[in-house]
Amino acid sequence: MTARVAIVGAAESDLGVTGKSILTLQSQAVTRALADAGLTLADVDGIATTGISRFSATQLADYFAIQPTWTDSTFAGGSAYEMMVARAAQAIQAGQATTIVISFASNQRSAKSRRLGGVHEPHIPEAQFEEPYDMLFPVSYYAMAAQQYLHKFGGTREQLAEIAVAAREWALLNPKAFRYGKGPITAEDVVTSAMISSPLTVADCCLVTDGGGAVVLTSLERARDLPRKPVEILGYGERTTNTSFTAVDDLTAPGAIGSGRDAFARAGITPADVDVLQVYDSFTITAALSVEALGFCGRGEVLGFIADGRIRPGGALPLNTSGGGLSYCHPGQYGILLLVEAVRQLRGESGDRQVEGASTAVAHGTGGILSTHATVVLGVDR
């Protein structure tokens, strides 16, 4: 029988504008997650991380003075941490490691290391077709996906803005959120804010903050002896679809369709069984496409589906209950914090934003320009 695997610890680093180094924030996230699990660095024999240096797992292991038996430095953008959950679970099941920490942190706001134009790589083949247009990376690409969706299926910018409006409502319930205490916003506020890349305005775009998080995985058998309620990994799936948009025929059909289908099949459930949903919201369109692609509604239906408060506090599909990348925190690769919030919801530790009776959660990461997609299904016994 294959060993079952669970998340037994979850924590954030300091968030916002911290003035701290990446390794300091990483250290905070990891040690806090281990403390949450009732474990220490001496228990860790597996590390999965990225974003520190060329050899991120090596860097972190050296910093912590440990010699892990297993590491992963998969770089896939915001979906990397959901991918790492799958690889870590498989490593534990194979006996390569017993206790694995997955972590990420960034000081991008304090270091002022992010720019609107993003990262350009003129040496890659598709650059000859894209560089002449001086695209903003990644926002202009996601804007094209939004344009295609609205053209193909109809709908309005105001309907798409519901993603940001709902995220703010959740953030107002989360004292750690960057936009906590800033007040609610309306669809009009979103569509009339400064245009960045049509049709996406600044309020359609994620925050730029410092921050990070970590989760700790071990076998479910061992987890039952630890202090926190174990959150079992029920299923996972991933897809890698494109480097650029040059050869993508349909920007409205992301790889989340396949990754979600595989994750739900492994878990033996359907979207109707999910109590709380955490999806990457680098932009409002990212979240909208993910909700639809994961099967929570039909093709072309998401803008109508999310109307009338469905994804807000008290709604039928609680979405991004921390406030998401749009209103809570976005340190550059947000996928780790999707997992942290999903774990807290399933353990009943989310305070005023707690979804009552939540026993099944999905965390779905998106990386690059709708390039990488990874879905994790989590559950607890009630």
Q: Which residues pair with 239 in a beta bridge?
A: 373
Active-site choice (141, 236, 328, 334): 328
- Are 194 and 6 a contacting pair, CB within 8 Å? no
> Looking at residue 42, what DSSP letter applies?
G
| Contacts of residue 322, Cβ cutoff 8 Å, sequence gap at least 6 | 170, 171, 174, 176, 177, 278, 328, 329, 337, 341, 350, 353
For residue 301, give Cα distances in angstroms to 212, 218, 259. 33, 39, 20
Look up residue 132 and give its DSSP letter: G
Q: What are phi and psi of 195, to 5 degrees?
A: -75, 130
180 as an active site residue: the answer is: no
State in Å, rounded, how far the first CA of the chain is from the last one: 23
Alpha carbon of residue 68 to chain centroid: 25
**328 among known catalytic residues:** yes
Q: Transcribe 337-361 into DSSP letters.
A: HHHHHHHHHHHT--GGG--TT--EE
Which residue out of 141, 142, 149, 280 is catalytically annotated? 280
- Please list the active-site residues: 280, 328
